[in-house]
Chain A
Amino acid sequence: MRDVYLDYQSAKPVDPRVVETMSPYFTERFGNPASLHAVGDAAESALEDARARVAALVGAPNDEIVFTSGATESNNLALIGYANRNKRSGDHVVISEVEHISILNLGKYLEKAGFRVTRVPPDQFGRINPDKLRSRITDETILVSVGWASSEIGTVQPIARIAEMLSGTGVAFHVDAVAAEGQVPIDMSSVPVDLLSLSSNDIYGPPGVGALYVRKGVKLAAVTMGGGQERGLRSGTENLPGIVGMGAAATLSAEAMATEPARMAAMRDRLVAAVLATIPHSHLNGHPTERVPSNAHFRFDGVEGESLLLSMKDEGISVSTGSACSSKTLEPSHTLISCGLLHEEAHGSLEFTFGRFSEDSDVDRVMEVLPGVVDRLRRMSPLYKTD
């Protein structure tokens, strides 16, 4: 029996074509782009080629892409860098309650640093209402940050509407696009987002690389000090093999946009329909339609997520859960709680994320196993009794 991996949101394999492209940059093309000799020149042109590829993926001019070590660093540069550089204009930042942990913790950091942070709650599907968000903006607001999609429940936010609402108000708009890239169209030439965080691994590039799109005219203070690479915004000699890999991944991702989202959505929709029809007292978390094509997020009454996950693991199926018992803090998923779920409901969640190497047979394999697993755990659960 082939092992089934349906946890693409946690980590993705690097596309073998990307590995092949990267390979020479570890050995014969090892140069430092800052060097003035021929080896350095070759490195610089590889760096700029990769920059153009990433820019093309999001419809941006080449010189508005800054390479980082990953989306977490991009988020740090965007929020801390923007807040510090623009604090004379105001001290208020607005984020949503359904952000990735890196944004939530940056919110706490900014509060300690003297900024005021407002967190906008979502509706029951995890979606932010642009009007509600607008009502939180004051004269002191300098920055709004909303993720393009939730990495947990997959809900896609109305980013274009929020961007248009903020456009021209002087409030900058940052978007963490990690959970959306390669899955929904992202075009900076038509959507007025100011700062956009990207991850290489989330488009099947190497981990440890990311980028921040910085719209022309948006001023940031550097967070990393050093030799002034990346227009002074991200010092440190560039991770050339990684960046070349991200560039190659961006081109493949742009090509795959024509077919891959629809292919994933078909598998995902089949899984959702089968689970809800087969397993009693099962529920889909997140938005019924406005969700990234890779994501199916369920909860099952009366069973606990980590037990589900371990049982699936025993069957060779890798998935994720929002249960507290799988996290180091023992807190249930903040996203699920802010959607209005009770703790006990959040504990029973299981997340499936499809990806480039998922196959239709993965859905069949899950459905062979999952109903029995849920049933077995319910039989030993005092919380689930049929009557």
Chain B
Amino acid sequence: MKSTQYSEKTLDHFRNPRNVGVLEGDNVAVGRVGNPVCGDLMEMYIRVGADDRIEDITFQTFGCGSAVATSSMTTELVKGMTLDEALAVTRGDVADALEGLPPVKMHCSNLAADALHAAIHNWRTDTKIEPMSAEEIASVGVGCGARDATVVEGVDDYADTGVYKRVDDTSVLADKRVLVLDKGIAAAKLALSLTEVTPRVVFLTELDTLGLPEDLIHEIKRSDVKVLFQSRLLAVRGEGEVEKVLIHDLDEDSEYELFVDAVVLLEV
């Protein structure tokens, strides 16, 4: 078996995943886990019966073949179990039921069990997880933002080489990757107008939703502006000119670099 090859059973669960979807109503709990490094996100929904049994279970996933297959298999394995029995199911059990997973994929198989455990935890602590909003969806695994421009490292080093405090003529940013910091309505409108001169405009906010008038939010959603929520700009980097920014993903509490050509921090 090739080190990256899937078993027939795994492929079957990938092709015909069982129990895909969401559950609604009473007695439902949701667990949501994601691993931005591997680029996957999983939601597991359980409906719990009077005898503490999992009456119904569904999942949704953004992930690779093994993420889909392990989710599907997990729902089959634990359906009808009590919550304690379900908690005892390990990722090894899931991998065995799938007739093995490629070694490199074992870490993806954590997700399904983690999501199930999160759902059970949320059930027991009566924690409600709302369905993800469009804003949250756009921010998963990513994020940027700047609350206070003065603490952004490197901003003053690029005053004439990629950091803009005002933009009078958007054509200077033509075909550039532009990061616009959320400074309210003026910044949002600038981000929208920049989409006419470049395909890559990233709007960065520390909030988990856009604090803008409804019509502007709607316009941004329909535009090519890529919004990054719950994110903070930590540093601007580059040799002689802006090349990258360092971003703190507040939700994941992780940092990553994003390649950009220009950073706009409007003075308001």
Give chain A's interface residues, CB within 8 Å of chain B. Answer: 118, 121, 123-124, 132, 135-136, 302-304, 306-307, 310-311, 314, 323-326, 328, 330, 332, 337-340, 342-344, 346-347, 379-385, 387
Contacts and interface: CB of A to CB of B under 8 A. Distances in A.
A325 B105 CA distance: 8
A303 B39 CA distance: 10
A385 B137 contact: yes
B12 to A, nearest CB: 11
A102 B69 CA distance: 33
A222 to B, nearest CB: 34
Contacts of B3: 328
Nearest to B11: A310
A370 B256 CA distance: 32
Interface stretch (B48-56, B147-155, B237-245): B237-245
Contact of A124 (B60, B62, B175): B175
B88 to A, nearest CB: 26
Given A302-B62, A340-B200, A382 B132 contact: yes
A383 B15 CA distance: 19
Contacts of A325: 38-40, 63-67, 105, 108
Interface in B82-124: 104-105, 107-108
B260 A382 contact: no
Interface string B130-156: 001010010011100000000000000
Nearest to B226: A342
Interface in B14-55: 14-15, 17, 20, 32, 36-43
Given A302-B137, A343-B36, A379-B20, 17 more contacts: A123-B177, A132-B241, A302-B62, A304-B40, A314-B15, A325-B38, A325-B64, A325-B65, A325-B105, A342-B258, A344-B140, A346-B39, A380-B17, A380-B20, A381-B60, A382-B137, A385-B134
A121 B259 contact: yes
Contacts of B261: 123-124
A380 B200 contact: no
A61 B64 CA distance: 49
Nearest to B142: A342
Nearest to B259: A340
A332 B240 contact: no
Nearest to A336: B259
Nearest to B243: A121
Contacts of B125: none
Contacts, number: 120
Interface residues of B, number: 54
A310 B36 contact: no
A324 B243 CA distance: 23
B252 to A, nearest CB: 11
B199 A124 contact: yes
Nearest to A382: B60
Contacts of A346: 39
A19 B61 CA distance: 46
Contact of A306 (B65, B226, B240): B65
A123 B41 contact: no
Contacts of A347: 39
B68 interface: yes
Nearest to A381: B62
B39 A338 contact: no
Contacts of A330: 37-38, 104, 107
Contacts of B240: 135
Interface string B198-226: 11100000000000000000000000001
Nearest to B179: A340
14 contacts: A304-B63, A307-B14, A307-B68, A325-B63, A328-B3, A330-B37, A330-B107, A342-B228, A343-B36, A344-B141, A380-B17, A381-B60, A381-B61, A381-B62
A304 B39 contact: yes
Contacts of B241: 132
Given A124-B175, A304-B63, A330-B104, A340 B134 contact: no
A338 B105 CA distance: 25
Nearest to A386: B134
B38 A324 contact: yes
A346 B42 CA distance: 18
A98 to B, nearest CB: 11
Contacts of A310: 6, 11, 14, 65
B4 A340 contact: no
Contacts of A307: 14, 63-65, 68
